[in-house]
Structure 1
């Protein structure tokens, strides 16, 4: 028999919030990092939320999960990121009614500057970071900037939820399971400028691989209502339930990290916000959502060489423009 694995330290910020509440159980149960991987959960939130966090810790204890070795609640980023293997940065100021996106950005980048500095000082240099708190791409950029001793490629942001939304829209249209929709791409920013692109995707119909364009047979929908539905889905959820999409976000975080940990199947790619290497004309260093493939050794690479038509190039240009503006505002706020 092989020796039992050493526990990994997984930090979740905003740990008393609703996304974390949906995320903690699958992570602690082993659904993300493997059912033979012990875990130490480090739960970071602000001081005023520690009372609520105490209740969350009690619930985790009461789950009696065999892989969960220790739970550490804290309000101190330096304590939280000590020896971290994985950091899931969920906590951020939520956008309030009437608040401009740029105001939200200015408030949140300061949080991610502090967390980047703490990661730089205390986390393992191999730490894998996924930023969820919005504006996720730009927060990830700031976090990366202030953790210069950690490899840039270790900083990502979540666009898997957008990919899942796009898959589900296509699946519903073709009357198949979402798991039979492959290689949809989310380009750019996790915002209303993102570009859900089906032009390289396919579906499985009666055991046959068919291009999405051919299966849907409605180019007007694919270039119109489909895109806007995916772009605005988060706002629609908030309007309906008066809270953000916590359940689906938690599922997407699990998918993002599981694939990063174990790799993507042959011939498949997934969407992740990652530092641009200049592919597809995207400015180097921007955290931009690309299609990526991931090896079992936890390294990913951007899928290159995909042909883009004029429509796609225009959409990618627009979302890049927004990200450059956000980055510049964020750098100004951190100065």
Structure 2
């Protein structure tokens, strides 16, 4: 299988751009699992082009998939070579988790049995939890101890929890689940409703599980309208919509995509994964982003499950946004999604005992 490589310890490169000397950083090793799949097909270009780790950060890609997919993965490696991306220092395709996770600084755990039309999330759990147990063990053995792990494969929150459990030498806060896709969906829905660009809608929150129990919360959201920042709730002025159609549209968006294209979200999922990891590495400043993180009980949520909160990120460390008011309606929604996560956790632990 074709491999080209440039060791992560190789000397830095120097480029001269318009007489300004730019020192290129040493490559970081980044693993993507399910690398021959649909999400990875969009994600790999974003990583290798500099959209995630920055325009001066070379990357060395480790691509993990199962043995029957190695032929497909060979084609992906060819395409990456044909892109002639200046920041791509090398590619390592493999079916061996320990080889894939060796010395990685960032891990996109995308590979999992995909959700199909008519499938419930619980059907996925038993099939996928063993995968994330094995990958947690491999990360624990060979990855950098400061590796940032993003779980995309569903059920993402509980998979992240299991992965962390089996990687005890890596801090729990280094394992996160992706709810950024839900946040992006929610921002898009609100922007369309208000009639503004999506970039002008901020502080939309996804609470809880990346499932149909998640709570897309617009109560703290703001939008730029006519050059002024205003509350989304005041602009829309339709409580029934914000507690009804808005919530259910975001909750069921994944199922709607599956119904339409007969496959799960791929392009949007890859974009969300890129957004999540970029903000985790490079910071959010004063922006709020939604991330599934190990709960410390904030806002009355159950502890020790991976729960989505609004967070800010500074110097690679996320911090839950504090002091938000939780309405009676929000309390019911937070509790319902928390209950599901507690149940999923127990089911997953039971599977791991088998």
Give the TM-score range, shorter chain.
over 0.9
2:206 match = 186
Partners of 2:246 and 2:122 lie apart in 1 by 27
State the SS of the aligned residue for 1:196.
strand
Go from structure 1 to structure 2 and tell me whether the alpha carbon gap of 1:96 and 1:165 turns closer, same or farther (over 3 Å shift).
Answer: closer
SS of match in other structure, 1:35: coil
The alignment's TM-score, normalised by the length of structure 2, stands at 0.93
What is aligned with 2:246?
226
- Residue 84 of structure 1 is matched in structure 2 by 104
Q: Secondary structure at the residue paired with 2:182?
A: helix
1:29 aligns with 2:54: no
Write the distance in 2 (CA, Å) between the matches of 1:19 and 1:100.
20
Residue 277 (structure 1) aligned with residue 296 (structure 2): yes
Deviations 1:29-50, CA, capped at 9 Å, x for gaps: 1011011101100000000000
Match of 1:293 among 312, 317, 323: 312
Aligned counterpart, 1:315:
333
- What is the distance in 1 between the residues matched to 2:55 and 2:323? 37
**How do 1:1-335 and structure 2 match up within 5 A?**
1=21, 3-266=23-286, 268-295=287-314, 297-335=315-353
Runs of 4+ in 1 over 2 A off after TM superposition: 1-4, 95-103
Distance 1:157 1:101 in 2: 15
Query: Is the Cα contact below 8 Å between 2:117 and 2:262 reproduced in 1?
Result: no
CA distance in 2, matches of 1:49, 1:184: 38
- CA change 1:242–1:99 in 2 (3 A) is closer
Structure 1 unmatched ranges of 5 or more: none
Across the aligned residues of Structure 1 and Structure 2, the Cα RMSD in angstroms comes to: 1.0
* Partner Cα distance (2:50, 2:117) in 1: 37
Counterpart CA distance in 1 for 2:303 and 2:29 is 31
CA displacement at 1:201 relative to structure 2: 1.0
CA-to-partner distance for each residue in 1:84-123, whole Å, 9 max, x for gaps?
1000000001134554432310110000000000000000
Q: Any unmatched runs of 5+ in structure 2?
A: 1-20
CA distance in 1 between partners of 2:290 and 2:119 (Å): 28
Cα distance in 2, alignment partners of residues 32 and 103 from structure 1: 32
Structure 2 contact 158–341 (Cα < 8 Å) conserved: yes
Q: SS of the residue aligned with 2:47?
A: helix
Partner SS, residue 216 of structure 2: strand
Matched length? 333
Q: Aligned in 2, Cα 1:97/1:184: closer, same or farther, shift over 3 Å? A: closer
Q: Is the 8 A contact 2:223 2:231 kept in 1?
A: yes
